[in-house]
Structure 1
Amino acid sequence: MRLFISLLLLILSASTFAAPKAALWPYWQQYATTDSQAVDHSRWQRLLDEYLVVQPNQTLFRYNRVSDGDKYELNRYLRDLARLDPHQLNRNEQFAYWVNLYNAQTVKLILDNYPVSSITKLGGFFSFGPWDEQVLTINGKRLSLNDIEHRILRPIWRDPRIHYAVNCASLGCPDLQPEVFTASNLERLLDKAATRFINSRKGVNPQDDKTQLSSIYDWYGSDFGSTSQLQKHINQYRQGAPITLGKVSYDYDWSLNEAK
């Protein structure tokens, strides 16, 4: 029986790397055509200012330092976002809303379960991480983190830079940005996030006879297009000599992005 359970868990773990496809949830397509409402992300910015550590090659979070008062402020920020109707926001405000909501909720999940070595340890017994858990209610609808990323952000905006914006609290993930996304900065911040990731070893690491890429480019290959399109995308942000994608391997580190 123990052997059967071990084999089952091994099979389930292997299958988790078949990342969800972009599948539009049509309800969330509606948006305002005016600039009538701006979302206040200042609470989230203060938490990033206090607990995010930006190192040359990696951005880390001080989960073990977050005070009870700041946990309350994070919960308050998430409650405030949940009270808003995204349909009343214009497209840029919506994008910033969903990305900040995703990232703040991810930090909350880690804090609620801390200490933990990896976000993949969260979730049910037969799940790989918490991404399918319905942890938010917006407009009376229950949402999971996977809903936000794969049923809202990816199919509505169709921008591969989304993968550099949402953070999964792991060392292999594109960094949690020290600046909150807003309607006015999102293009600049998306390019900044892409540049930082592509020029890190965890993103793109040319080696002697091959190039090691983040598994993100494997899991979400459909978002980046063909090999030549991916190569063009990488070289658009790469600093230094352009790369040619011939022999490629993939890697990803699920360890917690924690500042000790």
Structure 2
Amino acid sequence: MAILRRAFPGLAVAALLVRESRAAAPEALEELLARHVVLPEDGVSRVRYAAWKASAADMAALDAWIAAAAAQRPSAMARGEAYAYWANLYNALTLKVVLDRYPVRSIRDIRSTGVPFDPRQFIGPWRTRLVTVEGRRMSLDDIEHETMRPTFRDPRVHYAVNCASIGCPNLWPRAWRAGTLEAALDEAARAFVNHPRGAVFRADGGLRVSSIYKWFQEDFGGSEAGVIAHLRHYATGELARRLATATRIAEDAYDWALNDAATLS
């Protein structure tokens, strides 16, 4: 084999790329998610952070997956593959950020580093540059707001990435894959919209929605009417019936508490 590598150096490069691709495959990440992400009866996914952090093997496996993913070239991927790649990388990095600092009550207790003149450094870790992809050092904000949102122009990006909070759309115990991406994104959208933290009518008839729809209203039609139209598209049952005549949003809310499985006990 060594003789072949010397005679055909391109074979060594190809073999390395194959190994990196396998190491960063969705299956490798999914093994970790399946082991540590739970979906209780209340419909809000949680992470077994304590158990994950206590496992040196699983901590090392997450680091290895991130390193292998960072070595890939998303610019050369087809749209669906790139979409799944960025969503998986974002979620894996968020998990690592929390696990490295766990225990914490909220991801917002973790400040950004390396950005001394950025006032947003104090409200969470999203500005810290965590990974280098194709020569660019990137933060979580770079991935979500500078890459995924402008590239894919799909409001379902907000259902694909998870910010380790109760108020966020669920982190699923599976990885995103290009082949099942469309169906999985729609499933995630329906799950969130039809959960009270996505949209719910108050006792007085007012519509309360997740603050996600306020913060990123431009992605959901650019107006309250656009947000309501988006909700109608995914709503079912009684929520769909009441949204049919809804014309305004009364309030928005968001729960920044950590999505920690320990809070279930």
Separation in 2 of the partners of 1:124 and 1:184?
35
- Tell me how far apart the structure 2 counterparts of residues 117 and 221 of structure 1 sit (CA, whole Å): 28
Of 60, 66, 83, the residue aligned with 2:46 is 60
Instruction: State the distance in 2 between where 1:231 and 1:124 align.
Output: 34
Matched, 1:221 2:217: yes
- 1:240 corresponding residue in structure 2: 237
Distance between the aligned counterparts of 2:112 and 2:70, measured in 1? 24
**Does the 8 Å contact 2:90/2:140 carry over to 1?**
yes
Identity of aligned residues (%): 40
Match of 2:258 among 245, 256, 260: 256
Report if the CA contact (8 A) 1:209-1:247 is conserved.
no
Q: Does structure 2 retain, via aligned residues, the 8 Å contact 1:170–1:253?
A: yes
| Unmatched tracts of structure 2, length 5 or more | 1-20, 114-120
Equivalent residue for 1:179, pick from 174, 194, 214:
174
Q: 1:245 and 1:178 mapped to 2: Cα distance?
A: 36
Offset at 1:78?
A: 0.3
Q: Deviations over 1:86-105 (max 9, x none)?
A: 12211111110000000000
Give TM-score scaled by structure 2 length: 0.81
Instruction: Give me the whole-angstrom Cα distance separating, in 1, the residues matched to 2:36 and 2:166.
Output: 16
Distance 1:245 1:199 in 2: 18
Instruction: Supply the AA of the counterpart residue of 1:54.
Output: L
Question: Partners of 2:60 and 2:249 in 1: how far apart?
Answer: 48
Relative distance call for 1:245 and 1:197 in structure 2 (3 A) is farther
1:253 deviates by 0.5
Distance 1:170 1:197, change over 3 A: same
The 8 Å contact of residues 165 and 177 in structure 1, kept in 2 or not, is answered as: no
Q: Deviations over 1:188-246 (max 9, x none)?
A: 11001100000111110111220111000000001101222221210111111321142
Instruction: Please list the CA deviations of residues 137-188 of structure 1 after superposition, one character each: whole Å capped at 9, or x if unmatched.
Output: 1112100000000011000110001111100000000010222111101101
Structure 1 segment 107-118 matched on structure 2, within 5 A: 107-118=95-106
Question: Partners in 1 of 2:225 and 2:110 — Cα distance?
Answer: 37
Superposed CA deviations along residues 104-151 of structure 1, whole A, max 9, x for unmatched, are 000000100011110001114852100011011111210000000001
In structure 2, C-alpha distance between the alignment counterparts of 1:235 and 1:41, rounded to whole Å: 31
Quote the Cα distance in structure 2 between the aligned partners of 1:124 and 1:146: 11
User: Is 1:95 the counterpart of 2:83 in the alignment?
Assistant: yes
Gaps of 5+ in 1: 1-36
Q: How does 1:113-124 map to 2 (within 5 A)?
A: 113-124=101-112
In structure 1, C-alpha distance between the alignment counterparts of 2:259 and 2:138, rounded to whole Å? 24
Q: Report what 2:27 is aligned to.
A: 42
Answer yes or no: is the 8 Å Cα contact 2:112–2:126 preserved in 1.
no
- Distance in 1, matches of 2:75 and 2:234, equals 33
Match of 2:100, SS? helix
Give the aligned CA root-mean-square deviation in angstroms.
1.5
Could you say which structure has the higher helix fraction?
2
Inter-partner Cα distance in structure 2 for 1:124 and 1:103: 17
Question: What CA distance in whole angstroms lies between the structure 2 residues aligned with 1:43 and 1:68?
Answer: 16
Q: Which residue of 2 aligns with 1:85?
A: 73
Partner Cα distance (1:247, 1:233) in 2: 13
- Cα distance in 2 for partners of 1:154, 1:87 equals 15
Aligned length: 224
Q: How does 1:57-206 map to 2 (within 5 A)?
A: 57-66=43-52, 67-124=55-112, 127-206=122-201
Amino acid at match of 1:70: D
Q: How far apart are the structure 1 equivalents of 2:250 and 2:152? A: 28
TM-score (norm 1): 0.83
